[in-house]
Structures are given as C-alpha cells and as structure tokens.
Chain A
Amino acid sequence: MSVVVGILFMAATYLILSRSLLRIIIGTGLLSHGAHLLILTMGGLKQGAAPLLSEKAGSYVDPLPQALILTAIVISFGVTSFFLVLAYRSYQELGTDDMHRLRGND
C-alpha cells in the first residue's frame, strides 16, 4: 500500500509543479487521496470486522484512523471547492489560468 501512496504523492507533486491552475487543483486532489490512504495504511491494515459493535466479531479494525480520515475528507472537500471557485473567479477577472502569467507587476 505504501508504494501506491508513494505513487500518488509523486503524481500530485508533479501536477502541483505545473503551469496550469486547474492541474494544480487536480494535484491537490490526488495529494489528499494519497494522504487519506496513508492514514489508513499507517493505522494498520490488519483483518477484522468493520468497527460496528453489533457484528459481535472477535477483532475489529481500528476505528480511530477512520474517524480522522472522515474529518480530513470533509475538510479537504471544503478547501478544494473553495479553491475551485477561486480559480474560476480569478480566470474571470484575470483572463488566464497560467501560473506564469499570474505575476504581479513589480
């Protein structure tokens, strides 16, 4: 699983380094996927029942990382949507999504 996370991070980094704003946002999306998967992996991928007590299983998977990821998903969604609208607005105002042209006049 670690390798998959690594590939996700790699791709995300590459996209974030690109010139187009939309690509950068896609990169952040990949990055948050990678991070969520990383949390899950680090929590331990041992076998067990879903964390529902009614299942009467002998062992459950760890519920804490799941709670953390749930929080993280919602937050990253909030930020991504804000970021998207920001990109949309900046395109409307400035007429470009090229990061190289989004430079202040100094």
Chain B
Amino acid sequence: MSLLHWAILSPFIFALFVPLFFKYLKNIHTGWFVLPLPILLFFYFISFIQETMHGETIKESVAWIRSLNISFTAHVDGLSLLFALLITGIGTLVILYSIFYLNKQKEQLGSFYLFLMLFMGAMLGVVLSDNIIVLYTFWELTSLSSFLLIGYWNNREKSRYGAQKSLLITVFGGLSMLGGFILLYLITGTFSIQEMMNQTNQILNHELFIPTMILILLGAFTKSAQFPFYIWLPDAMEAPTPISAYLHSATMVKAGLYLVARLSPIFAFSSTWFWIVSSVGIFTLLWGSINAVKQTDLKAILAFSTVSQLGMIMSLLGVGAASLHLESLSDGIYPVATTAAIFHLFNHATFKGSLFMVAGIVDHETGTRDIRRLGGLMTVMPITFTIAVIGSFSMAGLPPFNGFLSKEMFFTGMVELTHMDFSNVQTWGILFPIIAWIGSIFTFVYCMIFVFKTFTGPYKPDQLKKQAHEAPIGMLISPIILASFVVIVFFYPDLISHTILEPTVAAILPAQYIVEEIHIKPWHGFNIELFMTIGVVISGVLLYKLWPKWQAIYNIMPNKLTLNKGYDHALASLEKNSSNLTKLYMTGFIRDYLIYIFSFFILILGATMVIKDGFVFNTENITSIRLYEVILALVMVAGTITTVLSRSRLTAIIALSSVGYSLSLFFVLFRAPDLALTQLIIETVSVALFLLAFYHLPELTKHERKLHFRFVHILISFGVGIMVTLIAISANSQRVGQSISKYYEDFSYKLAGGKNMVNVILVDFRGFDTLFEITVLGIASLAIYSMIKLKVAKEGES
C-alpha cells in the first residue's frame, strides 16, 4: 500500500467517521469536518503535475486476488490526473457549497456526506485504476452511490423513481462493460490496460473484437448519458443541487468519457470505433440541445445541456480517433479534436458546476426553479446574475470565456474531418460540421433562455414562495471560484495547456505520435470557424427573439413517443408479462407440475436415446424364460390393470396388494428368500394401513367416482412406461464390466463369518446403509406419532 493507494481509499475510510461527527457534534455543520479531506487530496494530486508534465507516469501496485492475478494497480498519467484534479477540486467546492445549501437541523447530513465520500472515493478509484476489474468495481460503486444520492430525499416518489431509473440504466451498462472487459481479458490475457496497449494488433484482428468494443461502449454510453441512454439524467435532477452539480455535470457522467479516452489507444485504430463514437456523440449533441430548449425547469435545462455537451465531447473523442487513420498525422498535423475534447471536458466541468450552483441558489432564494415564474432577478441577485452570465455565455461559446476557445476547436475538428480520406468519411463526413453547427445554435438559444428568462423581464413577487434576495456569501464562494476559472482560462490558456492538457493528450493518443506543444489562442484570424461562430450567434439571437412563435413546434412530437414513455412502458410490460407468464405455468395444481416433470423426463431421455443412438437390443444376456414366470407376470399385469381401472378404492387396494404378493412370489422364483419374506410382511402391513386410511375416509360414494380418462395423462403414462422399458432393455443389452458380487461370494464366510450373503452385506459389508434405513423408519414413526398427537393438542386447545 503506497501513499497513492491510501489517497484513493481515504474517502472510504473517512466515510466511516462521518456519521460519528454528525451524531456527536451537532452544533457544527458536518460538512466542515468533511471539507479538509478533498482539499488535502487536491493538493496531493497537484504535486504530480511536475512528473506528468515531463511525460512520466507513476505506477503503484498492491496484490488483491493473487490467484486470479488481479492487483489493485494505481496508475497516474495526464488523463488520470486531470480527472483526479476535477474530482477533488470540484468536490471541495461542492462540499463548501453544500454546507450553506443544506440545513443542519432538517437534513440527515450524516448520510449525505457518507454517500458523497463514498462517491468521491469510487470516482478516484475509477480514474486511477489500471486493472480493469478494479476499475469495474469502482465503476459500480459510483453507480451505487449515485443511486443513494439521487434518492436522498427518499420520502419523495420522484426521487425514488429517478434513483431506480438511473440505477437500472447504469448498472445495465456496467454489466455489459464487465462482459466486454472479460472478453478483453480473454483476448489479451492481462487485466492491465497499460499492458493491453502493447497488444493492439492482436485485439484488432481478433474475432471477438466487435462484441468487445460494443459491450464496453455500452458501459461508457450509459454512464455518460448518450443517446438513447440519456433518459436517466433529467430524472436524476431530483437529487439535491450540490449532487447534481458534482455527479451529474462534472464527474460521474464523465466517467464514460474517461473510459472512451482511456481505451482509445486500444480501439481507436478501428474505423468502427470512430463511426460509433462520433456519430452517437454528434447525435446526442443535437438531440440534447433541441430538447433543452423546451424545458421550463432550470435544472432540466441544465440536464439536457449536460447531455448535449457530453455528446459533443464524445464526438470529439471519436474524431480524434479518426485522426489516427491519417497518414498526414505523421507529418506533424496536430490531432486537434482530442485536444478540443479534453479542453472542453475541463471547461464544461467549470461552467456547468457554476451553473448548477446558480440554479440551486435561485431555487434556494425564491422557492422555485420554474422559469415561467421567475424573472427580473438581475437587480435582486446581481452576483448570481453575473455568474450565470459568465457560465451561460461560456456554454454558448462566446468570447471572452473559455467555452469560446473549445468551441472553436470543436469546429476546427469537425471541419477537418471532412478533409480526411478514409472509410467513406469524405461522403458522409460533411454531415458532422453541419449537425455540430445546428446543435450549437440550439445551445446558444437555451443558454439565452437560461439567463434572460430568469434574470431579466418583470419581477413576479406574487408567484414566488419567498422574498427573493441575494444568497449568503458562503454559497457564492464556490460558483465565484468556478466562474473566475472560466474567465482566467480564456485569457491565460497556457496555464492549463502545458501543465494538464498536453500530458492528457499524450495519454490518450498512442505513444508513437509525438505530441507537439499545444497553443491555444483566442484569435485565429478570419477563418471558417470564426464565421461559423458568428453564424451561430446571429441565428441564435434571431431564434431566441422569435421563440414564442416557434415554440409550438415542440407540440408536434407527441408525448407518447418520447423515450421516457418508451422506458416506462417497457418496464411496466416487462413486469406484467413476467407475472402473467408465471401465472400461466404456476397453476398451483400438483397434477400440472407432475405433468411437467414427467414430460420433461420423457423428452430428455427420449432425445438422448435418439441422439446418442442408445437403444440396443440383443438377447445374449437373456436367460430362458420359464413358464412360472410367464404366469406370474400375467397375474401381476392383471393386478396392475385392475388397480388402474377399478372404480372403487377397495378393489384398487386389493389389486395393489395382489401386485405386491406376486412381487414376493417373483422374489421366491428368482432365489431371494429374504426379500420374499420382507415383501410378504410389508405388503400385509401396508394393506392394513391402506384399509385403515380407507376406513377413515367417510362417505365412500362421494369418492367412488369414475376416473376421468384424460388423453394427455394416458399419453404421458404410456411415454413413461415405454421409456422405462426401453432403458431397461438397452441397459441389460449392453453391460460393461463384471459384477463385484464375486467378492461377496468368496469372502462372506472368510471375513464376516456369515453364510447368508444378503444379510452379511446388510449388516457387515454395507452396514451404514442399514443404520440409516433404521433411522428412516425411526423418523417416519416419530413423525406419524407427532402428527396424531398434534391433533390431540389442537383439539385440547379449542
């Protein structure tokens, strides 16, 4: 266990103590005790920048399950470090914000911070693990802690619905991912991602490559809320706002992006990867931005915008992978798309975090998040307004904020894609910049709605639950810090480009491509990207101004056809159908179950016999049949038939006993004196017992009904009988090996001192059987006794 391991596990250890703080130190907000840990971790991770900047990686390993070769390997490179810094940094700010957001008297803070610590540790584990099984473990822990956090207000039905939905979808993805990981292990023979990178050729040429890739991408797409799995994210907005800011904008939803980026060096050489990742991403971008415009809830707008922005980053990662196919890459053309993805990932975390906090402040200070009721808060809440403007304009891609830089790079990447010349990109590739451009226009529109519907226009105090006023300073610190990042990064992009972005891109793109220095400049000169942005702004402003006129267009799409309805319907029908199916075959009648069992018996044995060609008939082993045997067999068969056909039970019982007595006569014929004796006695006692039971069943006429002849029953009985006969004949016809009974013949007297071989076997050679047979009889008699007694006791009570 190195310091790095302790750093990853520290949130888990700390989580154990959180409830104690909450219980015993009631006067101080529990959040204050939690706050130092992410700060410490943040500075600890900052200390790695020096090493990753120079292209070094840190690797620490601790064996976990030795026999399976699974070790908890922590691996730090640029990509992991970027995420670790985001997790701890934004984690610190979110905890600070939550201290002022959550009331220490009304809320169960102990569980809140426990879940949050659990999540933070799990997330750190995801980004810092090199072993895929460990990564999966932490991955599911993030799903689980996210489930707990979404359902934090568990007395609300919507919270529970959202939590269940997110758990179902993300765990579905997680399990697919596990399947993909296992296939990956089968192909490569190692659990380590770093070692897999050396085997890319082997992976790409393997027949399981496509299933592996799709399964892993399912995991990434569900976690990162890509189309059509984004539906859980808007419902996850029932979580407390600090959670939405942290999990559902900055960290957890980026775990899928992390996975795609992390595995890019393995999969990116396949053009299928490029096509899937970038088309799903670009479609999610368009879909999310179009849907965000029609929302009326602040957090719902932000949720769909998160979906859309995640789609944008995803498509950039896909396009970045495409650059590997270009031969010109080796000439030094920089893979701009990957840089744009990473840069935007960082930017999105900053501005989306601050925007969620703004939404939380508005909710906290006015009592509603509905934009139809809000308005005119600009003068009431000037600081919040400023932060909202900075965040939204950055999201829309306007200067002088960092979103502008990454959006320009996004356009560059998309435009460059059309020049690429491989697997038909030149024909369909033209769609990418066009969709990206349309998506950006919608992004612009909802950003404007977010700011101007909330903060400008008439102030409506009568519709608000509270008297609106500026938030306390403690609540504003975190969004101010994030917003200042948004501005600082625009003016000084080099601050993060050399320290964080370069090592990250180096980690994503395979080592053979030498990473040039990244130069992010606000001003590129007049190029196509700039004109695209100008076009976005102009059409965006026009659309925003005309918004009331074309609002109705959203009503065209019927509510029933949305993916949410589809999900709900699928879930409901799944439950209904499985319940119906169970009712269909679980009838509650023993007879039906017996029919299943017997038919299965017939089918399995019959099929085996046919397939294996098992039926053999030869007469070698058969001894000559004597007359006695034939007569006795006929008597037995007659008894049997009488038993079955008899209308009264008395006949049936007597016929049964005739079968039993002829069986004992068989035993006599086949030289089994002990058996004959036992059978005679037992049969007599059984018949007596039958008659006894018979005597106690009153009103004979009631039960003396004719048997219901049922065709199916007869068929099944015939099947069973024929099957047993065939098996008996076949088994008799193909004996293998000799009987071991020669031993008993030779040694019964010598070793055991008895001449009756059967008895010697029962009490000497195989005495244990007899012991437990006695036990069976003992238990049966005790059970009978207690059954009779139980009745007496019951009657005595009543």
Q: Which A-chain residue is minimally distant from B782 (CB atoms)?
A: A82
Out of A42, A77, A100, which one reaches B728, CB within 8 Å? A42
Chain A residues whose C-beta falls within 8 Å of the C-beta of B640 in the assembled complex: 7-8, 11, 30
What are 5 of the A-B contact pairs (CB < 8 Å)? A7-B721, A17-B594, A53-B749, A66-B672, A75-B773
Given the contacts A22-B697, A41-B732, A61-B670, A73 and B675 also touching, CB distance less than 8 Å? yes
Beyond the given pairs A4-B636, A26-B690, A61-B670, 11 more chain A to chain B contacts, judged by CB atoms under 8 angstroms and listed by A's residue number, are A2-B729, A4-B637, A6-B728, A8-B659, A9-B725, A29-B660, A41-B728, A66-B672, A67-B769, A91-B697, A99-B590
Does any Cβ of A come within 8 Å of B424's Cβ?
Answer: no
In the complex formed, the residue of A with least CB distance to B698 is: A91
Chain B interface residue count, CB cutoff 8 Å, equals 89
Q: How far is the CB of B580 from chain A (nearest CB, A)?
A: 15
Interface size for A (C-beta < 8 A) is: 80
- Cβ of B311 to closest chain A Cβ, rounded Å: 49
Q: In the assembled complex, which residues on chain B have CB atoms less than 8 Å from the CB atom of A84?
A: 689-690, 692-693
Interface presence of B568 (CB below 8 A) = no
Chain B residue numbers with a CB within 8 Å of A25 are 690
User: Which of A70, A75, A81 touches B758 (beta carbons < 8 Å)?
Assistant: A70
Q: Given contacts A40-B672, A81-B780, are A13 and B686 in contact (CB under 8 A)?
A: no
Instruction: Given A30-B656, A45-B623, check contact A66 B675 (CB 8 Å).
Output: yes
- Contacting A33 at CB < 8 Å: which of B653, B663, B744, B756? B663
Known contacts A26-B643, A77-B682: A60-B777 contact under CB 8 Å: no
Which residues of the partner chain A approach B62 to less than 8 Å between Cβ atoms?
none
Asked if B551 CB lies within 8 Å of chain A CBs, one says no
Chain A residues whose C-beta falls within 8 Å of the C-beta of B780 in the assembled complex: 78-79, 81-82
Contact call A19/B708, Cβ cutoff below 8 A: yes
> Which B residues lie within 8 Å of A46 (CB)?
623
Asked if B23 is at the interface of the complex by the 8 Å CB criterion, the answer is: no
Are B659 and A33 interface neighbours, CB within 8 A? yes
- Known A-B contacts A29-B686, A37-B663, A71-B769; the reply to A14 vs B713 at CB < 8 A is yes
Encode B702-739 as 1/0 by CB contact (under 8 A) with A: 01000110100110111011101100110110000001
Contacts of B756 in A (CB 8 A): 51-53
A74 to B784, CA, bound (A): 16
Give the nearest-CB partner of A46 in chain B. Answer: B623
How far does the Cβ of A52 sit from chain B's closest Cβ, in whole Å? 6
B643 touches A50 (CB 8 A): no
Interface centre among A52, A67, A102 (most CB of B within 10 A): A67
Cross-chain contact A14 with B714 (CB below 8 angstroms): yes
Render B123-139 as a binary contact track against A, CB cut-off 8 A, 1 for contact.
00000000000000000
One digit per residue, 1 when the CB lies within 8 angstroms of any chain B CB and 0 when it does not, for chain A 48-64 equals 11111110000011111
Q: Is the CB of B644 within 8 A of A87?
A: no
Verify if B589 is at the interface (C-beta below 8 Å from A). Answer: yes
Digitize B747-763: 1 where CB-to-A-CB distance is under 8 Å, 0 elsewhere: 01100000111100110
Instruction: Count chain A CB atoms within 10 A of each CB in B588, B671, B722 and give the residue with the most.
Output: B671
- Contact across chains for B718 and A10 when beta carbons are under 8 A apart: yes
In chain B, positions 750-792 with a C-beta closer than 8 Å to chain A are: 755-758, 761-762, 766, 769-770, 773, 776-777, 779-781, 783-784, 787-788, 791
Is the beta-carbon distance between A50 and B791 smaller than 8 angstroms? Answer: no
Other-chain contact of A78, B653, B744, B745, B777 (Cβ < 8 Å): B777
Is A16 within 8 A of B594, CB to CB?
A: yes
**Do B591 and A40 have beta carbons less than 8 Å apart?**
no
Nearest 4 CB-CB pairs, A to B?
A10-B721, A6-B725, A78-B780, A63-B757
- Is the pair B671, A1 in contact by a Cβ cutoff of 8 Å? no
Q: Is B621 an interface residue (CB 8 A)?
A: yes
Could you tell me if A60 and B757 are in contact, using CB atoms closer than 8 angstroms?
yes
CA distance A9 to B726 in the complex (A): 12
Q: Which residues of A contact B769 (CB under 8 A)?
A: 67, 71
Interface centre among A16, A26, A45, A70 (most CB of B within 10 A): A70
Decide: B670 and A40 in contact? CB cutoff 8 A. yes
Given A13-B721, A30-B643, A38-B728 contact (CB < 8 Å): yes
In the complex where A40-B672, A74-B678 touch, is A103 in contact with B761 (Cβ < 8 A)? no
Which B residues are in CB contact (< 8 Å) with A33? 659-660, 663
CA distance A62 to B623 in the complex (A): 14
Q: Is the CB of A45 within 8 A of B670?
A: yes
Q: Which residues of B contact A19 (CB under 8 A)?
A: 591, 708
Asked if residues B589 and A99 are in contact (CB atoms below 8 Å), the reply is yes
Cβ of B211 within 8 Å of any chain A Cβ, yes or no, is: no
Known: A30-B640, A71-B769, A85-B788. Is A100-B589 also a contact (CB below 8 A)? yes
B425 contacts chain A at the CB level, 8 A cutoff? no
- Per-residue A-contact encoding for B514-553, CB less than 8 Å = 1, 0 else: 0000000000000000000000000000000000000000
In the assembled complex, the CB of A65 is this many whole angstroms from the nearest CB of chain B, namely 9
Cα-based distance from A7 to B745 in the complex (angstroms): 34
B434 within 8 A of A: no
Cα of A98 to Cα of B511 in the assembled complex, Å: 78
Asked if residues B707 and A18 are in contact (CB atoms below 8 Å), the reply is yes
Interface residues of B in 640-665 (CB under 8 A from A): 640-641, 643-644, 649, 652-653, 656, 659-660, 663
A60 to B739, CA, bound (A): 12
Closest Cβ neighbor of A102 among chain B residues: B590
- Kindly provide the distance from the CB of A37 to the nearest chain B CB, expressed in whole angstroms: 6
Bound form: Cα–Cα A89–B689 in Å = 13
Closest to B669 in A: A45
Cross-interface CB contact of A2 among B643, B732, B761, B777, cutoff 8 Å: B732
Which residues of B sit under 8 angstroms from A50, Cβ to Cβ?
671-673
Closest B residue by C-beta to A87: B693
**Chain B: minimal CB distance from A23 (Å):** 7
Q: Is the CB of A11 within 8 A of B707?
A: no
* Distance of A74 Cα from B774 Cα, bound (Å): 9
> B residues 423-460 with Cβ under 8 Å of A?
none
Q: Does B598 contact A (CB under 8 A)?
A: yes
